[in-house]
């Protein structure tokens, strides 16, 4: 693809590029083939300096790489979102202690539900907003939760404005940001199973304390920074997850401090989209 684009005089750009140490070692085995592929690319916008260095070490011309940052930091948070979320929390959730388990995978929902059992022992009125990653699993996860003895309200079938069930299953698309803003604590899935994790910047941007598991290699730099800024907590298993959720539900000051640290971290790293747009304009002007 890159070769054909170059032959046709069409600039090609890799945006938000990330190269892990493991991937770099694998691509290095391709030798001259990898170097030729990189030579055909007009420019690479890397997320981080280590990623940029790995592309260069693989044969990329150092003048063809820049480091605008990670465009995921430029997540769009509409002004009305927080107001809408507060209305849901007040009218639907009735101010119940609440947490979200977002983008969960097969094998992870069982662990989340096991954690929820421990949380319910401490907070019987607590609410879990459960969001499976893949729509084709919505029905299976709902059945799993009910089999475990939990009452479930599905967003797609919601009839009452008041959510009195144990679990609110978000089985719709495009509403995750909104429901991140409605809860006290956010667990980002794909991390208690070896999937690599998912975007933990969205809850952080909404000043929600973030939890994630051990498997976050797809977001290694971001997760490390969130931990360093004390905006997130890494949990080892479902028991640890339960303990941290219980602690945060009992500690509004700690929640506020973690949320503020996460929001500040996101804001400090925004601006990548504008830098990438300028790079694209520059390449087009050279055509």
- 97-119: average pLDDT: 98
One domain for residues 84 and 196: yes
DSSP at 90 = I
Contacts of 59 (CB under 8 A, 6+ apart): 34, 35, 38, 39
For residue 100, give the H/E element and its range: strand 98-104
One domain for residues 201 and 215: yes
The Cα 287–Cα 275 span in angstroms is 19
One domain for residues 229 and 150: yes
Domain that holds residue 9: 1-72+270-286
For residue 27, give the H/E element and its range: helix 21-28
The Cα 146–Cα 167 span in angstroms is 9
One domain for residues 264 and 276: no
Predicted confidence band of residue 223 (pLDDT cuts 50, 70, 90): very high
Going from the C-alpha of 9 to that of each of 5, 36, 45, the distances in angstroms are 6, 16, 20
- 83-111: average pLDDT: 96
Model pTM? Answer: 0.89
Predicted confidence band of residue 78 (pLDDT cuts 50, 70, 90): confident
* Nearest by Cα to 128 from 165, 80, 176, 83: 165
One domain for residues 64 and 41: yes
The Cα 84–Cα 136 span in angstroms is 28
Contacts of 78 (CB under 8 A, 6+ apart): none
One domain for residues 50 and 85: no
Collapse the DSSP code of 149 into the 3-class scheme (helix H, G, I; strand E, B; otherwise coil) and give the result. Answer: coil
Collapse the DSSP code of 251 into the 3-class scheme (helix H, G, I; strand E, B; otherwise coil) and give the result. Answer: coil
Domain tally, the chain: 2
Per-residue pLDDT tens over the stretch 131-184: 999 999 999 999 999 999 999 999 999 877 789 999 999 999 999 999 999 999
One domain for residues 176 and 246: yes
One domain for residues 50 and 130: no
- pLDDT, residue 116, reads 99
One domain for residues 177 and 39: no
Per-residue pLDDT tens over the stretch 251-279: 999 999 999 999 999 999 999 999 999 99
The Cα 224–Cα 105 span in angstroms is 22
Contacts of 199 (CB under 8 A, 6+ apart): 72, 75, 188, 219
One domain for residues 20 and 108: no
The β-bridge relationship of strands 43-46 and 185-188 is unpaired
One domain for residues 128 and 248: yes
- pLDDT, residue 160, reads 73
Provide the CATH number for the domain around residue 150.
3.40.50.2000
Q: What is the largest CA-CA distance in the chain?
A: 65
One domain for residues 126 and 252: yes
């Amino acid at each position: 693809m890159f070769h054909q684009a170059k032959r046709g005089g069409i600039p090609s750009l890799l945006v938000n590029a990330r190269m892990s140490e493991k991937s770099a070692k694998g691509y290095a085995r391709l030798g001259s083939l990898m170097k030729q592929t990189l030579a055909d690319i007009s420019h690479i916008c890397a997320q981080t300096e280590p990623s940029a260095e790995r592309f260069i070490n693989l044969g990329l011309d150092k003048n063809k790489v820049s480091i605008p940052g990670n465009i995921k930091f430029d997540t769009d948070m509409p002004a009305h979102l927080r107001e809408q979320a507060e209305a849901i929390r007040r009218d639907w959730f009735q101010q119940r202690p609440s947490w979200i388990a977002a983008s969960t995978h097969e094998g992870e929902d069982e662990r989340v539900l096991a954690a929820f059992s421990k949380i319910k022992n401490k907070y019987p009125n607590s609410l879990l907003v459960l969001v499976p990653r893949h729509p084709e699993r919505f029905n299976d996860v709902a059945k799993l939760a009910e089999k475990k003895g939990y009452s479930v309200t599905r967003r797609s079938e919601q009839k009452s404005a008041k959510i009195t069930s144990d679990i609110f299953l978000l089985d719709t698309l495009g509403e995750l940001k909104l429901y991140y803003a409605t809860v006290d604590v956010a667990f980002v899935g794909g991390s208690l199973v070896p999937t690599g994790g998912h975007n933990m910047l969205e809850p952080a941007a909404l000043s929600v304390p973030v939890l994630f598991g051990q498997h976050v290699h797809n977001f290694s730099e971001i997760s490390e920074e969130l931990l360093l800024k004390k905006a997130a907590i890494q949990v080892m298993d479902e028991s640890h997850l339960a303990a941290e959720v219980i602690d945060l539900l009992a500690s509004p000051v700690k929640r506020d401090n973690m949320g503020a640290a996460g929001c500040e971290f996101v804001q400090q790293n925004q601006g990548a989209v504008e830098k990438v747009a300028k790079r694209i304009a520059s390449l087009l002007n050279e055509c």
